A and B are shown apart, each in its own frame.
Chain A
Amino acid sequence: MEKILSKHFFNPEARRLSFYLQNDGYEAARKALTCMSPQEIIEEVMKSNLRGLGGAGFPTGRKWSFIPKDSPEPRYLVVNCDESEPGTFKDRHIIEWTPHTLLEGVMIASFAIGAHQCFVYARGEYVRYANILQTALEEAYRAGFFGKNIFGTGFDLDVMIHLGAGAYICGEESALLESLEGKKGWPRLKPPFPAVSGLFGRPTIINNTETISYVPVIIRNGGEWFSRLGSLKSGGMRLYSVSGHIRKPGVYELPLGTSLREIIYTYAEGMRNGRKLKAVIPGGSSTPVLTAQEIDVKMDFESLAAIGSMLGSAGVIVMDESACLVKALAVLGKFYQHESCGQCTPCREGTGWMTRILHRILTGRGVKGDLENLVRVANNIQGNTICALGDGAAMPMISFVTKFREEFESHIFHKRCTAVR
């Protein structure tokens, strides 16, 4: 299978504009800007079945088509590079190793939606990689790929890279916009959705870094070509961030629909030290956990949804029999408690409550009823919050406790951990 984004990962040369241009760089953008109309680009992206790869999986072409047409209002493109989902590190690789692919995607997407200003919002911790992207951007500016009158078409585009302060919540699109506007990163009430009223109250399209980075190849090779790479409803390829107790952690670019077993045992070369697989989180820490028996699932949006989980950001976290799942969940709980923005009640109070229960269980002070209470609190959060962070905190709680109940009960009733040391 030919790689698209990861072809030149780990090759420092590939960051340079000269290298990128030798490999047909910015040709797709030239094609889009000179030979295609915005409408044609959007249709091509629709054909490709490209879906939002940040986690929600919303069809990208459809999202772009929501932007009001023939309106004199300025509109913006925002690239979400706030990759903060635990277990996910694909966007970092993109801006670290192939920043020009993202920039080319930005150019095409901006042209498609009629934006003349694009913001790339990178998380605060990515300062090193944002600098790489900045260097690439400056290189592209010098070569005349950005700024005024791109390719002599009269299309202007400016790109600004903005570093957040490192809050998980700022990856939520409306909180990201608030943060970009200089305010506290609190999610907004919806509707209106950003495509109608987003950044500074203007129509705004927010896409994940990976999503935008796949746009050039779609324009170059056609939407249908890309669509055929993946499964029926989820087009193309995807970067799977694989981490945990496996021999070869890393980012693997594979077609959507590759089975989880294949990812773990073929690409990541199986479990470490001959230990047995216990649990896998398939799509970043917010997605419901899978047991060892469930890994034959195809890694695409529909197949995972069918077994009650989510593809999310495709951050695969593999845990073997040495992992204490109570501890793992307590760590996750702590993360959500720390990262909840505090705006709405269920998430603000619930995440802390769940974490405290888990901490009690972990330190041998669990009591009968704790698990029921934990699940009840999680259920009370889920669906009642402003944004999806609450759901993201609740789903692992419910799935861990449901699927690995004995382990939790052992901690509560026998004060003993069942993990194999």
Chain B
Amino acid sequence: MPTLTIDGQPITVSKGTTVIQAAEALGIYIPRYCYHPGLSIAGSCRMCLVEIEKAPRLEVACYSQAADGMVVHTITENVRLARRSVLEFLLSNHPLDCPVCDQSGECDLQNYYMEFGLYQSRFLENKIKRRKAYPIGPHVMLDNERCILCSRCVRFCDEVSKSHELGIVNRGERSEIALYEGRELNNAYSGNVIDICPVGALTERDFRFQCRVWYLNRTASICPGCARGCNIEIHYNVLRPYQSKGKRILRIKPRFNPAVNKWWICDEGRYGFRHIDASNRLRECEAQTADGVIPLGMETALKTAAAWIGESIEQHGKDSVGFFLSPELSNEDLYAILKLARHLGISKIDFRNPGEHPGFEDNFLIRGDKNPNRRGCVELGLYHRQRENGGWMAEEIKQGTLRMLVAFLQDLSLEPEFKAALVSLKRLIFVGSNSNATSEQAGLVLPSATYAEKNGSFTNFQGRAQRFERALVPLGDSLPENELIARIAAHFRMPEQPFEREQLLLDLRAEFPFFDQSTLDPPDVELAYQTTIAQREHA
């Protein structure tokens, strides 16, 4: 355990720790381009040069290992000069097209120039012209002029995605990032190279020219794409709709979580936010009448729903009503529904994602189970209520014992058994965010909010219940499922209070010890893809 001194502050670190890591532990930020904690050390950008006493020259902090008695200075005149000169070298052939660069605002060339540069350019020569702005894969654009050859993307493709698409070709100042011949940057994690690119060389095709990054709002969330539950950040623009053609969510970025996804997310998750602003979003309550579908006010609709449930229980008994839940619902939503069901004595509850087959899976992040909260359903005891034959509910509907169904999110008709059975159902209430074949058959449709529009938590396959925060106001009349349930429950003389978010959580933890013991990750705001403002202020 070597003890070293950085800028006068002593710190003891484990063997093998580098100076840049030790400094970070002390809150001293050393500027860097090629260094990334998730990748191997390249030591090539020379931005992190620091002065180490007794060393004949400046050393790179990313590669120098902490040694006992080492004395490091990160802000001497020599270090400042070295940083400035490295910046000057990097910018000498840089096109400085910041006004049309998507990276502008989160670019480390800009950031470090404002902090360590601030020199008058003495470069009088012609800049080297290179190929600009061409796609190298389905999601990524490459601009060779902006590239500073930090090789983060090359190392990512070699070490993390292990797909080896990128390399640096040619020598000296003619060096360029390039695809290997006949290749395309189309691996399942290709979008991460955009996040780790410290400059505007690799930009997102999808986000291109959509919005200046300083107009984006950011909210910590959890990716609902699969059972991994990668920590993400939703970047959205609601105040300036003219900036992004009316789209609210503009991009998803990974959020660092060492236990779940480290710094990365897959492309499927990164671009899996389309349904939130899709045209098939349900915006208002609808009822099917003899005259066709008519819109309803929320109060009327909820009253109708409560009345239907009440009538059915009264006339045909508690077993005539069933709930069909979804593993895409949050822990809180599921618990609220269970509470209502318990209050009403309803025991016919099933959950599934109909029409689902085990999806693509790899040994890195992507899980075959494409539902964010199957583990949550299991921990809430739902699994045990599922009878051996998956289609028992369809069977009971056919037999006429189950007369009414409240279906959440999923399209039941994707299962042939259900599709046939739905016709014999007397009443069907659909609660969901997007329309599907089931919502079109439902007598009553209640629009619900997507994950970006509500607070809640998903339990990932490891058993981590991870909280996500509301980024957007729910579209149209839609409401989070637990709120819909709470307001239906009010019609059954159930107090609204237990459905309040914090109370719901307290009850949930009291009743299911699992949620108490498991790490309920707080949504923190640490950004995985770039240095935070706070970190930079330390430097």
Residues in A lying within 8 Å of B, measured CB to CB? 167, 169, 184, 189, 337-346, 348-353, 356-357, 360, 367, 369, 373, 376, 380, 383-386
Contact = CB atoms under 8 A, between A and B. Distances in A.
A264 B329 CA distance: 88
A223 to B, nearest CB: 30
A341 B172 CA distance: 5
Contacts of A341: 171-172
Contacts of A356: 125-126
Interface in B80-139: 81-82, 85-86, 88-90, 92-93, 122-126, 128
SS class of chain B's interface: helix, strand, loop or mixed?
loop
A167 B171 contact: yes
Contacts of A385: 46
Interface of B: 41, 43-47, 49, 57-58, 60, 63, 81-82, 85-86, 88-90, 92-93, 122-126, 128, 148-149, 168, 170-175
A340 B125 contact: no
A341 B173 CA distance: 8
Q: Which of A349, A353, A380 has the most CB of B within 10 A?
A: A349
Nearest to B60: A189
A353 B41 contact: no
A384 B44 contact: no
Q: Which of A340, A344, A350, A351 has the most CB of B within 10 A?
A: A344
A342 B82 contact: no
B157 to A, nearest CB: 15
Given A342-B174, A351-B172, A384 B123 contact: no
Contacts of B170: 342
Given A338-B172, A376-B122, A380-B81, 19 more contacts: A189-B60, A337-B172, A337-B173, A338-B171, A340-B171, A342-B173, A343-B44, A345-B148, A349-B173, A351-B172, A351-B173, A353-B89, A353-B92, A353-B123, A353-B125, A356-B126, A357-B124, A384-B82, A385-B46
Which 4 residue pairs across A and B have the least CB separation, nearest first? A342-B175, A380-B85, A349-B89, A340-B172
Contacts of B93: 349, 352
B121 to A, nearest CB: 11
Contact of B57 (A189, A348, A349, A383): A383
Nearest to A369: B122
A383 B58 contact: yes
A368 B442 CA distance: 82
Nearest to A382: B57
Nearest to B82: A384
Given A341-B171, A357-B125, A380-B85, A349 B92 contact: yes
A360 B126 CA distance: 11
Contacts of A169: 171
B528 to A, nearest CB: 25
A337 to B, nearest CB: 6
B173 A345 contact: no
A388 to B, nearest CB: 11
B271 to A, nearest CB: 34
B90 A345 contact: yes
Contact of A352 (B43, B46, B81, B173): B173
Contacts of A340: 171-173
B172 A345 contact: no
Nearest to B56: A383
Contacts of A353: 89, 92, 123, 125
A348 B128 CA distance: 12
12 contacts: A340-B172, A341-B172, A342-B149, A344-B44, A345-B46, A348-B149, A352-B173, A373-B122, A380-B82, A380-B89, A384-B85, A385-B46
A352 B85 contact: no
A346 B46 contact: yes
A345 B172 CA distance: 10
Q: Which of B63, B88, B93 has the most CB of A within 10 A?
A: B88
A82 to B, nearest CB: 15
Nearest to A356: B125
B43 A189 contact: yes
Contacts of B123: 353
A125 B175 CA distance: 23
A374 B367 CA distance: 56
Contacts of A349: 89-90, 92-93, 173
Contacts of A376: 122
Given A342-B170, A384-B49, A386-B43, A348 B175 contact: yes
Contact of A360 (B47, B82, B125): B125
A365 to B, nearest CB: 9
Contacts of A367: 124
Contacts of A351: 172-173
Contacts of A373: 122
A367 B122 CA distance: 12
Nearest to B125: A356
A344 B46 contact: yes
A383 B170 CA distance: 24
Contacts of B47: 345
Nearest to A391: B57
Given A345-B90, A346-B89, A349-B89, A384 B173 contact: no
Q: Which of B81, B124, B149, B175 has the most CB of A within 10 A?
A: B124
Nearest to A348: B173
Nearest to A339: B172
A384 B41 contact: no
Nearest to A336: B172
Nearest to A190: B63
A34 to B, nearest CB: 43
Nearest to B63: A189
A174 to B, nearest CB: 12
A125 B58 CA distance: 36
B58 A346 contact: no
Nearest to A338: B172
Contacts of B46: 344-346, 384-385
Nearest to A341: B171
Nearest to A373: B122
Given A189-B41, A349-B90, A342 B171 contact: yes
Contacts of B90: 345, 349
Contacts of A380: 81-82, 85, 88-89
Nearest to A168: B171
A166 to B, nearest CB: 11
A328 B174 CA distance: 23
A301 to B, nearest CB: 17
B408 to A, nearest CB: 55
A75 B439 CA distance: 72
A385 B85 CA distance: 12
A345 B47 CA distance: 9
A412 to B, nearest CB: 13
A414 to B, nearest CB: 20
Contacts of B92: 349, 353
A339 B171 CA distance: 7
Contacts of A337: 172-173
Nearest to B49: A384
A167 B170 CA distance: 12
Contact of A344 (B45, B82, B122): B45
A391 to B, nearest CB: 10
Contacts of A343: 44
B125 to A, nearest CB: 4
A373 B46 CA distance: 20
B179 to A, nearest CB: 16
Contacts of B49: 384
A381 to B, nearest CB: 8
Contacts of B173: 337, 340, 342, 348-349, 351-352
